[in-house]
Structure 1
Amino acid sequence: MAHLDGKPVTTDDVLPLALTGYGHFTTMRADADHRIRGLALHLDRLVRDCGTVWGAALDTGRVRQFVRQALAGQRGPCVVRVTVYDPAVAVGHPAAADQPQVLVTVRPAGAMPPPPLRARSVPYERDLPQVKHCGLFGALHVRRAAQLAGFDDALFVGLDGHVSEGATWNVGFIDDAGTVVWPQAPVLPGITMKLLQQQVEHRITPLTLARAKGMRAAFATNTSIGVRALTGIDDAPLAVEDPVLSTLHEAYLSIPGEEP
């Protein structure tokens, strides 16, 4: 069941969010013991984005309380989404909404890592990429188009020709020397990406699409999937059985979770 500020949510509560799509969120994978990797970073994101989107402060103690409440009685790994929005928001005058509330939803988590994916490159840049906001239409539209074309997902390429991120994931690469390479571009500062950067040596550099396709291997990261290999980009194949991919996966799983 979904809860808004700790109370069961009603249709009237979420209708403004459905009609405007104005809000921000974070998604966290909770293990069977309800511990969450990178929880402090998720809370930092919510505080930062709340200031950007709403011009308001966010009480992380209350967020923790709501997450604990949502996880109570849950068995097995699950995905917790915390969405921050104001039920008073309206299309005509969004500036009048400045009292955000906390919506918490829970769903079962899938296997980690999921099977490798094949990405289709698309020219696309997200609005306000540094914020994990609810404006997902563009990203889901290009994901749908990629899937209809026979791919699994979309990989974004900016107007400058540089690779940035996936529809709902960060992307990383492994070069011929076995070094982990992250694109330097306007991207969402993903929590899984940050955790991996703390664990594994890497470099960050601009990557053209041609250079990205020439890498030894590539992978997608987000909280729900951990580290997921890419089988290819467009018609360029990539290795999915690479020792560095295994190292990244093991490094991520070794990170201890935090209690909400």
Structure 2
Amino acid sequence: MAQLNGRPVTVEELAKLALTNYGHFTSFRIEDGCVRGLGLHLDRLIRDCRELFGADLDAGRLRHHIRNAAPATGTATVRVTVFDPAIDPGSPDLARDPHTLVTARAAAGSAPTAFTARTTTYVRDAPEVKSVGLFGSLHHRRAARLNGFDDALFADPTGHVSEGATWNIGLYDGSDVIWPDAACLSGVTMRLLRQAHRHRTMRVRVSDLAGMEAAFATNAAIGVREISRIDGVAFHPAHPIIEALRTAYAAVPPETI
């Protein structure tokens, strides 16, 4: 299912998005017409649209478009992408008519398993924006996988941990959940967990990882997923904090679209 402003999208419109690659999005898991953190997802779309296009989106129309494209029952992964089909790469400043593309696909059925990550020095362009420009993230993910890891964890040039390729990272030092204080995307799942569980925010160097008891990734598709190893540092994938965070996230009441 793919709809642009509530109607079937054309190949020409999708080609413009693919070839120009300027826009932003949010994605989430929908269960029987409900989404955890839906208001935060809509806020992200509205905020990023002002940043990239200088235009306002209407939350009511966003909900309407999502309802039209998403299944009313069952579970699916929905992505809402905002872009201007009339954009000209030579004059992106004239792209001021953002359209809303809603796509839905089957959600993953199996529970996520523990994974490994390799640190790499990289900061995304405009890291606070959930941009459609995924080249850098996927390039580093590919390199990590070719070197025997499952994914990439980014650190800035000063050696401080920021975020994963498409996820936020959280840590546990034996006392508190720690979210790295860094330039990164403020993920909806991370924000919900910050509200639901005690935590601290602090700068975390790559060298600090060896002193942590547990590490985990969060995003709307996977919820909370344990990390078993970062570089040469191993973590206990069955640490009780992982289940505690999953329980806290599951207790967040979903919002009806």
**Structure 1: any 5+ residue segments left out of the alignment?**
none
Contact 1:113–1:226 (CA<8 Å) still a contact in 2?
no
- Map of 2:193 onto structure 1: 196
Contact 1:156–1:165 (CA<8 Å) still a contact in 2?
yes
- Map of 1:38 onto structure 2: 37
Report the TM-score when normalising by structure 1.
Answer: 0.97
**Aligned to 2:220, which of 223, 226, 231?**
223
Are 1:54 and 2:53 matched, yes or no?
yes
Quote how far apart the aligned CAs of 1:20 are.
1.1
Contact 1:112–1:225 (CA<8 Å) still a contact in 2?
no
Give the direction of change, closer, same or farther, for the CA distance of 1:64–1:139 in structure 2 (3 Å limit).
Answer: same
Give the direction of change, closer, same or farther, for the CA distance of 1:113–1:204 in structure 2 (3 Å limit).
Answer: farther
Q: Describe the SS at the equivalent of 1:144.
A: helix
Distance 1:72 1:121 in 2: 38
Quote how far apart the aligned CAs of 1:149 are.
1.0
Are 1:12 and 2:12 matched, yes or no?
yes
- Map of 2:88 onto structure 1: 90
Contact 2:168–2:190 (CA<8 Å) still a contact in 1?
yes
Contact 2:118–2:153 (CA<8 Å) still a contact in 1?
yes
Please tell me the residue identity of whatever aligns with 2:47: R
- Map of 1:23 onto structure 2: 23
Segments of 4+ moved more than 3 angstroms = none
**Aligned to 1:165, which of 163, 166, 180?**
163
Percent sequence identity over aligned pairs: 50
Quote how far apart the aligned CAs of 1:111 are.
3.6
- Map of 1:214 onto structure 2: 211
Quote how far apart the aligned CAs of 1:133 are.
0.8
Aligned-residue CA RMSD (Å): 1.0
Q: Describe the SS at the equivalent of 1:66.
A: helix
Q: What is the number of residues matched between the two proteins?
A: 257
Quote how far apart the aligned CAs of 1:113 are.
4.1
- Map of 1:150 onto structure 2: 148
Q: Describe the SS at the equivalent of 1:185.
A: coil
Distance 1:41 1:245 in 2: 23
- Map of 1:259 onto structure 2: 256
**Structure 2: any 5+ residue segments left out of the alignment?**
none
**Aligned to 1:236, which of 219, 233, 238?**
233
- Map of 1:104 onto structure 2: 102
Please tell me the residue identity of whatever aligns with 1:161: G
Q: Deviations over 1:182-234 (max 9, x none)?
A: 00000101000000000000000000001023310000000000000000101
Give the direction of change, closer, same or farther, for the CA distance of 1:130–1:83 in structure 2 (3 Å limit).
Answer: same
Are 1:139 and 2:137 matched, yes or no?
yes
Contact 1:163–1:212 (CA<8 Å) still a contact in 2?
no
